[in-house]
Every structure is written in C-alpha cells, then in structure tokens.
Structure 1
Amino acid sequence: MEENMIRVTVSYPPHEAFQFDHGYYQNTHARLIRDRLGPHGLVKLEIDQALPGGSENPPASIAAAHMFFDDLGSFQAAMAAEGKALSADRTNYTDIIPVVVISQVIQ
C-alpha cells in the first residue's frame, strides 16, 4: 500500500432491538459500494460481520465496511459524487446509524 493510503471504516454499533440484514449488506450493498465508488478511486473494499465474543455483552459493532482509497481527496470526491445514493440504501438493511472513522494506513 502507498504511504498516503487511507481506510474509511463504516461500523454499525447495535442498539436495543436493532435490525440488520447481513445478506443484503454483504451482497447488494457491497456491490453498490464497488459499483459507485470504484470509478472514483476505491482501491479495495472489505466487509466484516462480528462474531460473538463469548460474553453476554453484544460486540461494539455488528458489521463494518472498510474502504481503501489512495488519499483523502479521492474519498471526499467519491462521496461528493455518490454518498447520497449509498446513504439512501441504508434503510434497506438496517436501522442503525453508522459510525465513520477515517484513518491513514501505516502498515
């Protein structure tokens, strides 16, 4: 990976009585991310589904998308062009408000 590569993590912290369709998220929404953001510089997409950790407490996040871009400007341009379409699709798979973290990839 290049020095300036960034990772954008969109995670979904559960709340009481949350709804989340992992099948839709992993297949349909992931394809939408690739189709919409690929032409705008998306380098790689990883999708996570949390596993139970053995405690009674739910995981801090039940699912996440990790999107890799060469730099922050590429991500910002991609979201300016396609962010509304991606956000509008959220109601098809969850009622959770996602948390977004943007970080520089070090290694």
Structure 2
Amino acid sequence: MKMKIITLAISVALLAACQQSSQPAQSPQSPIKKGMVKVSILYPNGEGKHFDMDYYVKTHMPLVATLLGDSLKALSIDKGIGSGRPGPMPYLAIGHLYFERLSAYEGALAPYTDTIRKDILKYTNIAPVIQISEVLE
C-alpha cells in the first residue's frame, strides 16, 4: 500500500509539473489493462465557472487516491487547453480513475462519497459529469 501511495504521489507530481496531460498510453508496465473500468470526471467549461487546478492536482486527487485505497489501480488528470473547433475548450479538466471492475469502484467509493463531494466545493463551482467506461484498448 505504501509503495502504491508513493507511486500515485509521483504520478500526481509529474502531472502537476506538466500542467497538462493526456490519457495514459498502455504499455507492458502500465497498470491500465483491457477490461478495466475507467471512471472519468468531466468539468464542463462555461461562463462564470472556475476551477482551481493546483488544488485539484495537489490536494483533491491525492485525497481521492488515499480514500479509494488498493481498489484504485491508476489515475490521470487532463487539463483542457483547446477544442477541435474554434471556440473555448469544452472541459476545464477531466480526472480519470481506473479499477479492475465496477464493483471495486462502487465499494471503495461508498463510504467516502460525502467527503469527496464536500472537497469538490474547495476547488470548483462546477457540477462534474461522470462517465463510467470499459477500457477496450
């Protein structure tokens, strides 16, 4: 568990240093495998919306990683920087959490839902959109 927290902390620190990331590429060493469940938390852009990326990267996501424990296999953070067409980016940020199966996510999250929701208010006024997907590649 200690090694996993250190690994996640290093990953979050690297993401913070880059201030932008893309979805992690799968490799032989990647913890992300076909058939896993990916929970994406999307924060839509819009007038009057704010998002504290520094808090999200350095405080919120490490908190989430600690609370979800060993059921969380990997995480990544995307910072919106543009769109595929003229105009503003559609999302300010997207967080991705990876689990072996849906029941692992649900079981790990259940005791901490209120804690996580209360912390969201510390970095944004955006109601996140949640997408749960199966990793195919």
TM-score of the alignment, normalized to the shorter chain, above 0.5: yes
C-alpha distance in structure 2 between counterparts of 1:11 and 1:90, whole Å: 12
Query: 2:89 — aligned with what?
Result: 59
Gaps of 5+ in 2: 1-31
Q: TM-score, normalised by structure 1?
A: 0.90
| Conservation of the 8 A alpha-carbon contact between 1:13 and 1:61 | yes
Counting only pairs closer than 5 Å after superposition, residues 87-98 of structure 1 correspond to structure 2 as: 87-98=117-128
Query: 2:78 — aligned with what?
Result: 48
Q: How much identity, in percent, do the aligned residues show?
A: 33
Query: 1:21 — aligned with what?
Result: 52
| Conservation of the 8 A alpha-carbon contact between 1:15 and 1:96 | no
Q: How many residues align?
A: 106
Aligned-partner residue type, residue 101 of structure 1: Q
Aligned-pair Cα RMSD in Å: 1.6
Query: 2:107 — aligned with what?
Result: 77
The answer to whether structure 1 residue 4 and structure 2 residue 35 are counterparts is yes
Bigger relative contact order, structure 1 or 2 (CA pairs below 8 A, ≥6 apart): 1
Task: Report the 3-state secondary structure (helix = DSSP H, G, I; strand = E; otherwise coil) of the residue aligned with 1:12.
Answer: strand
